[in-house]
Chain A
Amino acid sequence: MSEMEAKHGEEHHIVSPKIYVMIATALLICTALTVAASYLELGPWNAVVALGIAVFKATLVVLFFMHIKYSSRLMKLTVGAGLFTFLALVGMSMSDYISRAWGSF
């Protein structure tokens, strides 16, 4: 029993407001960065930079606002499985278009 109770305390981690403030600030800064980057002339890199920043922002939200950083392996695996399935489906749907320009540069 004592073993189980010891586990209790660790399992539910309360994320502190300080971390929420830091993450919200980081998200707002990233928003400013992505808007600023969209005004630069980067050719095909405009889309890459914008989506890269979006992925970074989404990762911050999932890890901290949605507590996945402090969650059990089951939850981490669930999120990972969802992301993997999503990327596999989109990747397969897009495979023709992704590879079409190969060799033309």
Chain B
Amino acid sequence: MDSPTVAVHEGAHHEHPSYQRHHFVTMDQQRESASFGMWLFLLTEIMFFGGMFTAYLIYRNWYYPAFVAGSHTLSIVLGTTNTAVLITSSFTMAMGVWCAETRKRSGLILSIILTLVLGLVFLGIKSVEYHEKWVQHHVPGLRFDAMTFVHPKAEPGQPVEPGLPLDMAQHTEIYFSLYFAMTGMHALHMIIGMGLLIFMLIKAVQGAYDDGNIAFIENFGLYWHFVDIVWIFLFPLLYLISRHQ
């Protein structure tokens, strides 16, 4: 990297896009620096969510019957639908990055709109699930009744759950605390992401990305896919792994 750089800057001004900062030798170096910074941020996010995942694993170990009973109250249908919705939104975002890279403005706008709509569908389904928790008195701290696990009511079309002893039933509150903490932080990340999507949509309509200055879109893509990965792990842990116990 030594001699060619000097040679370039001794002569006439080196040709480069206007958005290349002068402390970067090449556009690739600038792009990789931005992407490297984004990944470092995502690593801190892994540690942040990792703490909650670890808490979930340890408490599940301690109060296993309560966690099994708690997870049986979640709807597999809604959870599966949301997983499919989020994966599809990751796909539309990846297509948005491709459209930006190949400078297709209308394709980029369409991808951003689709990603936004799918994000809204996800949050809509999530709010239906949260509402159900409210109705069933499964919201820790605000509206919680452990007795629903001591004397479970028969759900239509499902076998009657065996009741838990009172002390174990009270620990289902920990399951729901973690459920709301984890899905709530995940939903907050999506809400922030959708704010950024609206920002990008406005910029894209104005043609701000037509010159190839798309680092923002590429790094937002990484963020959106990360949020998808968090859900990929939340879904089996919260909804699936206790089906049969």
- B28 contacts which chain A residues (CB < 8 A)? 7-8, 11-12
B198 interface residue per 8 A CB criterion: no
8 A Cβ contacts from A46-104 to B? 46-47, 50-51, 53-54, 57-58, 61-62, 65-66, 71-72, 74-75, 78-79, 81-83, 85-86, 89-90, 93-94, 97
Ranked nearest first, the 6 interchain pairs of A and B with the lowest CB-CB distance are A50-B236, A24-B91, A82-B43, A38-B240, A47-B241, A11-B28
B46 touches A78 (CB 8 A): no
| A72-B28 Cα distance, complex, nearest whole Å | 11
B61 interface residue per 8 A CB criterion: yes
By a beta-carbon cutoff of 8 Å, the part of chain B in contact with chain A is 4, 7-8, 26-28, 31-32, 35-36, 39-40, 42-43, 46-47, 50, 53-54, 57-58, 61, 76, 80, 83-84, 87-88, 90-91, 93-95, 98, 101-102, 221-222, 225-226, 228-229, 232-233, 235-237, 239-241, 243-244
| A51-B7 Cα distance, complex, nearest whole Å | 54
Nearest CB in chain A: distance from B128 CB, A: 19
| A50-B233 Cα distance, complex, nearest whole Å | 9
| A54-B46 Cα distance, complex, nearest whole Å | 15
A38 touches B35 (CB 8 A): no
Interface residues in A, total, Cβ within 8 A? 53
- A24 contacts which chain B residues (CB < 8 A)? 87-88, 90-91, 94
Across chains A and B, the number of contacting residue pairs, with CB separation under 8 Å, is 140
B241 touches A31 (CB 8 A): no
6 A–B pairs (Cβ distance < 8 Å), ordered by A:
A20-B98, A31-B84, A34-B240, A46-B244, A47-B241, A65-B94
A20: contacting residue among B40, B43, B61, B94, CB under 8 A:
B94
The residue on B at minimum CB distance from A74 is B36
A42 touches B26 (CB 8 A): no
B83: contacting residue among A7, A31, A39, CB under 8 A:
A31
- B87 contacts which chain A residues (CB < 8 A)? 24, 27-28, 31
Quick one: which of A21, A53, A58 has the most chain B CB within 10 A? A58
- B35 contacts which chain A residues (CB < 8 A)? 71, 75
Known pairs A61-B228, A75-B39, A86-B50; A35 contacts B26 (CB<8 A): no
Nearest CB in chain B: distance from A74 CB, A: 7
A12 touches B31 (CB 8 A): yes
Known pairs A51-B236, A78-B43, A86-B47; A17 contacts B84 (CB<8 A): no
Nearest CB in chain B: distance from A23 CB, A: 8
A46: contacting residue among B50, B94, B233, B243, CB under 8 A:
B243
- B95 contacts which chain A residues (CB < 8 A)? 17, 20
Known pairs A11-B28, A86-B46, A94-B58; A61 contacts B80 (CB<8 A): no
- B239 contacts which chain A residues (CB < 8 A)? 38
B222 touches A66 (CB 8 A): yes
Nearest CB in chain B: distance from A83 CB, A: 8
A89 touches B50 (CB 8 A): yes
| A29-B27 Cα distance, complex, nearest whole Å | 38
B40 touches A78 (CB 8 A): yes
The residue on B at minimum CB distance from A19 is B94
